[in-house]
Structure 1
């Protein structure tokens, strides 16, 4: 009788395991996991030569079970599916913005903070979710946690449309945001499991575009649904779309996380052979408890946020402009409805300016950020002598190769940091003066362009500066931005009621000038000095 397919795969792996036997130093599973935190794939590391061990199960060179060896079509199908998950959740974060006044009237809300909380509570949980769901994916697998999180988002998003009180709506929005955050926590890891560094750029570009377009396209659909159907349809239509994505995902998504794939092989062969000594290169890591995995993932970002000046100040600036983004998203409909007297559906079309800014800014980064880094590394980089040539020549020759530093990611922040206050001022002053509708939209276009360029520069700097702890450094920034994305929109209505659009945006622009002007200068001048005194930073 032929063994089950999963067991056959395990046996084939064992039969050919000699292809990865060599006299090399053992691979430390903890080090491999740390590399995954940096965006590298577990599967990539599993092809490393391993010490001879008759009980070791690992990927062989051309193992069809290794996601790196899947067909290009299959890997791009995964990319599109994960991008769909990452698109639909941010759509829900802002889709309700044009409906806030209708919800206020239905539920008799008299407090502007409570009204804005209907939108911003999702942003808070959407930022907290990845801190919990990301570590869980290391224990249970990426696809399982992604699908479970998406199912929770779907159920509670439907519940939002059925809410009968303000409290129900806010609670369900919070819970749907927690589930929706799974795509942010896991999507990038799925791509890093399937594509090598040389292949990953285009896939990451597609993946990163989804969460940028979602918040700006959601209110456009939400405005038309609210005016011609009901505000409840802003939840139901997104639930219908997410349900379709969930069904397709159940059919085509497969596990990509190497430790989980290999653990299943071990389990299948143990059942077949009864050998209890079988293990994988990641077996030691797999013995960590869920609480220990989640606990360490939560504690380290908070520790870095409170002990690393670079992480704190960059996260502060990152959080501020993220909060501004959602403040603009939440107050935009009021401007066009009350000042420009546009119907809800037409007012929603003004969000196109924000989407264009995000798109153009992301393309500027895709073209420029690496080119600037390469140019500065070649002209200003410090030179280190490194071996060159073949094995014989390495003993006798060497060449001087320039090395870059994280500060080479900073230059693009300088103009981008100016676009943010400039865009806010143009938006606020022209809106206050009731100028032509194109001028406030020009302001929001410049604002969103500056926001996304700064996002990219900050993320790249943190990854370069804290490469070993990149996930924790960006996790700290994500945590702080979730708080700002929740809090700043709550202040928007009172701010504009007190100071008007001109004065309110002038105040916000002034703070942006202070933070945005100081961050690039301090990092360029003192970044290396601060990194040199950090036990988390890595000197390359």
Structure 2
């Protein structure tokens, strides 16, 4: 499968003129046809600097880091309030444990809904515009959470903030697919995929100390200050990357430059559109339904979505229960208990750096063995060790807490949980971007919908499960499910992934 949008052979009809070559390395520059009925707009050769894949590395990394920053700060808000929920509950008179857990996880419920609309909208209005406007929306409502006066206002404001904050989860992957070639994409996605997992870890560490030394309202005010700074960087460094939109802008300039009175007006279209395909109404209807169609029809999205949902659910289950483990079992104060989030953060960061170092190397190795043809399945080998590390961490963390062993053993188990999660996330997200490059935002929206529902739901039943079974048996069940879902996944996709993609409508559209 090609890693570039335009590697698909586009042969102009006899009634059209191809004014520029496609940018894929294997596509030849074609001479214009003799007919002047239409002009097909494309990049000016394979090295066109306007093509985001040909941007300087400095510009590519600037876009990557800005998108990763957006993807980091929003999840910080998702969990930063977790150590302070006891204060929030007292202020609003809430005693129901489900409602208390919902105060944290309602933010993640919005993550399931927002990408279904924001991801496709980025394919209409552009990546940069949608992601930045969504972040402003998040900023407004996150700030409002700090002024909430009732539990209803608090939950509603959290949900609205989550809608705006969900945009980078799907659009960010689309940006990386726009600017990086497949053999370069692993390192960029390693940073991008670390952000939404590291953010919820950093958040509670800071939130615990804010809650102990100040008031829970500063949890939201402080994140809003940081997000405002990130937004300013976005204005300067995040340019538009979506190829169809950039070529439409180029075609629009060409239309304006034509002198209609002298008979030079022509049908000007981009290589991405058939006649009328890129009209606003058709784009809108197709883009908004595409995530649902991808999830409903594409086995890739369904299977990877289920596995990622479980991982994400376990992740948020840990985020919301770490205070209970270390305050309840080890009798630590709120601020000290919050420091235990560092263990999962270290696992995420260390495994991410190791995986980022080798993911592209593995891809290039198998690409060379495959006669220079890259395949998304070449991302899967990095999943294999992680499918064993994750359940091992669950068992160590659960039984160490159950038996009240030294806290460092529990932290070591949590460290392994983080170390097992991030390679799985990185491999799955990179696989999806490689397979659905042009529609990566919609595909990631489809996958992230299910995972966010799990992130919302798992913390709601976790207190009852651990109360009934204890941390040991509860984590043993999670480890068993992790083995049943995770261990066969890389082998099955390695063997059958290409066959599934061949039958896919969207995976072939690049």
Aligned pair 1:254/2:254, yes or no? no
- Are residues 195 and 44 of structure 1, via their aligned partners in 2, closer, same or farther at CA, if it must alter by over 3 Å? farther
Q: Do 1:300 and 1:472's aligned partners in 2 also have CA atoms closer than 8 Å?
A: no
More moved, 289-298 vs 152-161:
289-298
Counterpart among 428, 441, 450 of residue 411 in structure 2: 441
What is the alpha-carbon distance in structure 2 between the residues aligned to residue 339 and residue 534 of structure 1? 50
Aligned pair 1:358/2:348, yes or no? yes
- Are residues 462 and 250 of structure 1, via their aligned partners in 2, closer, same or farther at CA, if it must alter by over 3 Å? closer
What is the alpha-carbon distance in structure 2 between the residues aligned to residue 412 and residue 201 of structure 1? 11
- Are residues 340 and 531 of structure 1, via their aligned partners in 2, closer, same or farther at CA, if it must alter by over 3 Å? same
What is the alpha-carbon distance in structure 2 between the residues aligned to residue 525 and residue 280 of structure 1? 40
What is the alpha-carbon distance in structure 2 between the residues aligned to residue 194 and residue 279 of structure 1? 25
Aligned pair 1:487/2:457, yes or no? yes
Residues 265-305 of structure 1, C-alpha deviations (whole Å, 9 max, x = no match): 44455456564646341454421425313333133223226
What is the alpha-carbon distance in structure 2 between the residues aligned to residue 215 and residue 196 of structure 1? 29
Counterpart among 128, 138, 155 of residue 170 in structure 1: 155
Counterpart among 307, 310, 314 of residue 317 in structure 1: 307
Residues 383-410 of structure 1, C-alpha deviations (whole Å, 9 max, x = no match): xxxxxxxxxxxxxxxxxx4878766654
Q: Do 1:413 and 1:457's aligned partners in 2 also have CA atoms closer than 8 Å?
A: yes
What is the alpha-carbon distance in structure 1 between the residues aligned to residue 205 and residue 242 of structure 2? 37
More moved, 80-89 vs 186-195:
186-195
- Are residues 205 and 44 of structure 1, via their aligned partners in 2, closer, same or farther at CA, if it must alter by over 3 Å? farther
Q: Which residue of 2 aligns with 1:110?
A: 95
Map 1:292-331 → 2, pairs under 5 A: 292-304=285-297, 308=299, 311-331=301-321
What is the alpha-carbon distance in structure 2 between the residues aligned to residue 468 and residue 148 of structure 1? 22
Aligned pair 1:287/2:276, yes or no? no
- Are residues 512 and 469 of structure 1, via their aligned partners in 2, closer, same or farther at CA, if it must alter by over 3 Å? same
What is the alpha-carbon distance in structure 1 between the residues aligned to residue 360 and residue 49 of structure 2? 33
- Are residues 247 and 405 of structure 1, via their aligned partners in 2, closer, same or farther at CA, if it must alter by over 3 Å? closer
Residues 453-512 of structure 1, C-alpha deviations (whole Å, 9 max, x = no match): 222333455566777876665443222111111111111111122222222222222222
Shift of 1:192: 3.8
Q: With structure 2 as the length reference, what TM-score do the two structures score?
A: 0.82
Which structure 2 residue ranges, 5 or more long, are not aligned? Answer: 1-9, 14-21
Q: With structure 1 as the length reference, what TM-score do the two structures score?
A: 0.78
Which structure 1 residue ranges, 5 or more long, are not aligned? Answer: 1-23, 28-41, 382-400
Counterpart among 484, 492, 495 of residue 514 in structure 1: 484
More moved, 457-466 vs 222-231:
457-466
- Are residues 445 and 517 of structure 1, via their aligned partners in 2, closer, same or farther at CA, if it must alter by over 3 Å? same
Q: Which residue of 1 aligns with 2:11?
A: 25
Aligned pair 1:190/2:175, yes or no? yes
Q: Do 1:44 and 1:193's aligned partners in 2 also have CA atoms closer than 8 Å?
A: no
Residues 170-196 of structure 1, C-alpha deviations (whole Å, 9 max, x = no match): 121111111112222222333444444
What is the alpha-carbon distance in structure 1 between the residues aligned to residue 331 and residue 184 of structure 2? 49
Q: Which residue of 1 aligns with 2:73?
A: 88
More moved, 516-525 vs 173-182:
516-525
Q: Do 1:43 and 1:257's aligned partners in 2 also have CA atoms closer than 8 Å?
A: no
What is the alpha-carbon distance in structure 2 between the residues aligned to residue 91 and residue 227 of structure 1? 18
Q: Which residue of 2 aligns with 1:394?
A: none
What is the alpha-carbon distance in structure 2 between the residues aligned to residue 296 and residue 526 of structure 1? 27
Q: Do 1:217 and 1:355's aligned partners in 2 also have CA atoms closer than 8 Å?
A: yes
Structure whose CA Rg is larger: 1
Shift of 1:72: 4.2
- Are residues 312 and 262 of structure 1, via their aligned partners in 2, closer, same or farther at CA, if it must alter by over 3 Å? closer
- Are residues 521 and 265 of structure 1, via their aligned partners in 2, closer, same or farther at CA, if it must alter by over 3 Å? closer
Map 1:365-404 → 2, pairs under 5 A: 365-372=355-362, 401=371
What is the alpha-carbon distance in structure 1 between the residues aligned to residue 507 and residue 258 of structure 2? 46
- Are residues 512 and 272 of structure 1, via their aligned partners in 2, closer, same or farther at CA, if it must alter by over 3 Å? closer
- Are residues 512 and 83 of structure 1, via their aligned partners in 2, closer, same or farther at CA, if it must alter by over 3 Å? closer
- Are residues 512 and 201 of structure 1, via their aligned partners in 2, closer, same or farther at CA, if it must alter by over 3 Å? closer
Shift of 1:231: 0.9
Shift of 1:346: 1.6
What is the alpha-carbon distance in structure 1 between the residues aligned to residue 176 and residue 502 of structure 2? 32
- Are residues 409 and 258 of structure 1, via their aligned partners in 2, closer, same or farther at CA, if it must alter by over 3 Å? closer
What is the alpha-carbon distance in structure 1 between the residues aligned to residue 438 and residue 62 of structure 2? 30
Q: Do 2:81 and 2:204's aligned partners in 1 also have CA atoms closer than 8 Å?
A: yes
Q: Which residue of 2 aligns with 1:36?
A: none
Q: Which residue of 1 aligns with 2:108?
A: 123
Higher RCO by CA contacts (8 Å cutoff, separation 6 or greater): 2
Q: Which residue of 2 aligns with 1:60?
A: 44
Question: How many aligned positions are there?
Answer: 479
Map 1:137-156 → 2, pairs under 5 A: 137-156=122-141
Q: Do 1:304 and 1:473's aligned partners in 2 also have CA atoms closer than 8 Å?
A: no
